[in-house]
């Protein structure tokens, strides 16, 4: 058998340079908190998060190389490693744990404490890191050239390009500043409304709208025209087909149709009856479509999952007996430390009440956690983090866990909280393992020390776990989950899954209608998950995302023969990432201001809202058009740095 040629990283193994420094760790922690908070906010709003690796790497280069004049690509890599951990853990947390807050509001359950949220997040984050460590050689080293790891490879290219001079950090900072300013003016000062809508005359129940917010425009550019179009297609079906159909027939129906608490004819005759119909019916149809899409994506991946798990275990056995290497670029954390850490965490889960799942839940977490960490780490190497079916893995876990808990008598409030807790841990494990594998791929290409990156991931997981609880409590107190401000679509769906198994508290006909729509969409060859998310969310979110997608599509079509197309797209993505981070940061700030009381019963947030939306809906639309023009300028006319 021909010997495989040894890969040579950008920084050779025998070259020692600053990597795990005070500067890189502190900056990484700062970006971990910033991107974690920003992604928590935007994820609760639109049901998806964006990778923080490249923006964190670019900001790191701007600060470490541009401002501090330190010349170390490995320090920049450490910053993105720690920084991206915040985004990954936030994604896992917001997809599940808001369900606990929703139950507290709806069913009078006890709201989760900071300690409970931190415990669940910390366990999921640490297990995600520890489960991934033994898989590094099998997936990153042995499969080099086989598994592309798109985000990890792209991040390495950005880091290496940054070594040649120039800095793209300015683009990110510009996007961040503009996004923050726009968000503060619209939702802080309230100079113009951030949500605009028009009912369609003569078409009862139909309406179109748009949330004129910078993050949504940025998300659209990043995901591209196809995904954006799928989301808008789902929204059009909901808001221009199903809601008008219900409104038309409902004016003749005087009865109450569950889950609404008022007669359908009253809902239809309301001033904004389409919102009542959406809230009582469309959300459940959309949730059925989303659940179907998540499970289907998991089923489609089953052959790959089985092969992945088998290969990973085989490679793990073949490398476990090797002596600890002395080569810097091949040094991992001690396998003994990893195994002891996993055992201690699982035992603590089973024997303590910090995570209320008992011994059964601890066993489920150990088994499903390692399985899905392996699956996630391999899948993102092939299809990328954006297409990783984490929600499908979580739904499958929740279904099985809820069935096991119900069969063993662990039901009621405790059983529902326990099931969501298990699902939260598994969701965070899968998200963290997938993100970490991308980071380790970046490190492998640039010549980082794996052991130091793994320690960096642990730091990122701990910091994120300690912060995410405060962010969730803050956002819930300021606006509430399940509202138009923070729909929390993924968490609402997870809540419905548990309720459906444990107590049958679901309007199943509506859910199955969503499943039927999902089947039709899948048979048409359309990606079901973005379509289903678009159906679930208000059309107001899909329209600005579509505008961002159109700008990306026009850019790629107009400049498809241009040698600088990749540079133009990258510039647009960096500016969009800045818009997302800027809005997310101001969103968190406004949430803080919304709960700080002043004399007279007002909050600080209410006191600064002096604009009274004076510019109106058309002013909001015009200014949002100006923001879109800035994105066009930053992408279409980007110049390659020399």
d(CA 87, CA 32): 7
Task: Name which of 32-36, 480-484, 501-505, 630-634 the model is least confident about.
Answer: 501-505
The predicted pLDDT at position 423 comes to 93
The answer, yes or no, to whether residue 3 has pLDDT greater than 50, is no
Residue 412's region, left for phi above 0, alpha for psi from -120 to 50, else beta, is: left
| pTM of the predicted model as reported, rounded to 2 decimal places | 0.79
The answer, yes or no, to whether residue 161 has pLDDT greater than 50, is yes
Q: Of all residues in the chain, what percent carry a pLDDT higher than 90?
A: 39
Confidence of residue 152 (pLDDT cuts 50, 70, 90): confident
What is the mean pLDDT of the segment spanning 191-203? Answer: 91
d(CA 531, CA 229): 8
What is the mean pLDDT of the segment spanning 62-85? Answer: 88
Task: Name which of 257-271, 272-286, 421-435, 450-464 the model is least confident about.
Answer: 257-271
Task: Name which of 122-126, 325-329, 452-456, 572-576 the model is least confident about.
Answer: 325-329
The answer, yes or no, to whether residue 166 has pLDDT greater than 80, is no
What is the mean pLDDT of the segment spanning 17-33? Answer: 94
The predicted pLDDT at position 397 comes to 85
Question: What residues contact residue 450 under an 8 Å CB cut-off, 6+ apart?
Answer: 136, 329, 330, 331, 332, 440, 443, 444
The answer, yes or no, to whether residue 316 has pLDDT greater than 70, is no
The answer, yes or no, to whether residue 606 has pLDDT greater than 80, is yes
Average pLDDT, the chain: 86
What is the mean pLDDT of the segment spanning 447-476? Answer: 95
The predicted pLDDT at position 304 comes to 63
The answer, yes or no, to whether residue 561 has pLDDT greater than 50, is yes
The answer, yes or no, to whether residue 640 has pLDDT greater than 80, is no
pLDDT tens for each residue of 220-235: 898 889 989 998 999 9
The predicted pLDDT at position 76 comes to 92
d(CA 609, CA 554): 37
Question: What sign does the dihedral 329-333-339-345 (CA atoms) show?
Answer: negative
Confidence of residue 1 (pLDDT cuts 50, 70, 90): very low
The predicted pLDDT at position 589 comes to 86
Task: Name which of 310-314, 427-431, 528-532 the model is least confident about.
Answer: 310-314
Q: Beta partners for 207?
A: 199
Higher pLDDT, 552 or 313: 552
The predicted pLDDT at position 558 comes to 86
Helix (H) or strand (E) holding 213: none
Q: Cα Rg for the chain, rounded, in angstroms?
A: 24
The answer, yes or no, to whether residue 14 has pLDDT greater than 70, is yes
CA atoms within 13 Å, Cβ hemisphere of 21? 16
d(CA 69, CA 136): 32
Higher pLDDT, 119 or 49: 119
Confidence of residue 468 (pLDDT cuts 50, 70, 90): very high
Tokens 């678009």 belong to residue: 534
d(CA 256, CA 248): 16
The answer, yes or no, to whether residue 372 has pLDDT greater than 70, is yes
Q: State in Å, rounded, how far the first CA of the chain is from the last one.
A: 44
The predicted pLDDT at position 2 comes to 44
């Amino acid at each position: 058998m021909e010997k495989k040629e040894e890969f040579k990283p950008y920084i050779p193994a025998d070259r020692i340079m600053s990597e795990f420094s005070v500067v890189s760790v502190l900056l990484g922690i700062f970006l971990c908190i910033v991107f974690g908070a920003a992604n928590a906010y935007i994820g609760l709003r639109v049901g998806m998060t964006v990778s923080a690796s490249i923006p964190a790497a670019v900001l790191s280069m701007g600060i470490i190389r541009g401002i501090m004049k330190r010349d170390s690509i490995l320090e920049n890599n450490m910053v993105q490693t720690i920084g991206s951990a915040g985004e990954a853990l936030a994604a896992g947390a917001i997809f599940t744990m808001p369900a606990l807050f929703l139950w507290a509001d709806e069913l009078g359950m006890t709201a989760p404490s900071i300690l409970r949220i931190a415990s669940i997040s910390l366990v999921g984050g640490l297990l995600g890191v520890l489960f991934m460590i033994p898989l590094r050689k099998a997936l990153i080293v042995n499969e080099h050239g086989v598994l592309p790891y798109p985000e990890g490879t792209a991040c390495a290219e950005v880091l290496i390009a940054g070594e040649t001079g120039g800095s793209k950090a300015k683009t990110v900072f510009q996007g961040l500043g503009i996004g923050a300013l726009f968000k503060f003016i619209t939702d802080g000062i309230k100079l113009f409304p951030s949500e605009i809508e028009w009912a369609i005359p003569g078409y009862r129940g139909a309406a179109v709208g748009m949330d004129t917010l910078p993050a949504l425009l940025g998300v659209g550019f990043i995901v591209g025209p196809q995904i954006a179009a799928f989301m808008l297609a789902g929204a059009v079906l909901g808001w221009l087909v199903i809601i008008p159909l219900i409104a038309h027939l409902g004016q003749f129906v005087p009865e109450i149709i569950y889950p609404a608490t008022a007669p359908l004819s009253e809902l239809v005759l309301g001033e904004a009856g389409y919102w009542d119909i959406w809230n009582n019916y469309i959300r459940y149809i959309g949730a059925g479509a989303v659940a179907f899409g998540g499970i289907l994506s998991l089923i489609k991946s089953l052959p790959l999952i089985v092969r992945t798990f088998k290969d990973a275990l085989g490679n793990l056995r073949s490398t476990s007996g090797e002596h600890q290497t002395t080569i810097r670029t091949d040094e991992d954390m001690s396998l003994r430390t990893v195994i002891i850490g996993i055992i201690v965490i699982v035992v603590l889960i089973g024997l303590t009440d910090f995570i209320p799942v008992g011994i059964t839940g601890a066993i489920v977490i150990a088994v499903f956690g390692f399985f899905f960490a392996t699956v996630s780490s391999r899948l993102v190497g092939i299809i990328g983090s954006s297409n990783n079916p984490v929600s499908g893995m979580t739904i499958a876990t929740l279904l099985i866990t809820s069935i096991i808990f119900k069969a063993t008598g662990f039901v009621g409030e405790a059983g529902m909280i326990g099931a969501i807790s298990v699902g939260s841990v598994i969701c965070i494990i899968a998200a963290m393992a997938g993100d970490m594998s991308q980071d380790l791929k970046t490190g492998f290409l640039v010549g980082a020390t794996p052991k130091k990156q793994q320690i960096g991931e642990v730091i990122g997981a701990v910091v994120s776990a300690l912060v995410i609880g405060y962010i969730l409590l803050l956002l819930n107190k300021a606006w509430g989950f399940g509202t138009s401000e923070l729909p929390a679509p993924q968490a609402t769906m997870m809540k419905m899954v548990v309720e459906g198994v444990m107590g049958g508290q679901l309007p199943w006909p509506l859910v199955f209608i969503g499943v039927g729509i999902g089947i039709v969409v899948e048979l048409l060859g359309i990606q079901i998950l973005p379509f289903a998310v678009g159906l679930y969310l208000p059309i107001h979110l899909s329209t600005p995302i579509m505008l961002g997608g159109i700008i990306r599509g026009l850019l790629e079509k107009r400049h498809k023969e241009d040698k600088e197309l990749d540079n133009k797209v990258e510039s647009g993505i960096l500016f969009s990432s800045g818009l997302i981070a800027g809005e997310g940061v101001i969103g968190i700030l406004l949430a803080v201001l919304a709960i700080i009381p002043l004399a007279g019963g007002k909050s600080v947030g209410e006191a600064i809202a002096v604009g009274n939306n004076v510019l109106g809906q058309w002013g909001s639309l015009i200014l949002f058009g100006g923001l879109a023009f800035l994105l066009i300028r930053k992408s279409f006319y980007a110049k390659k740095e020399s």
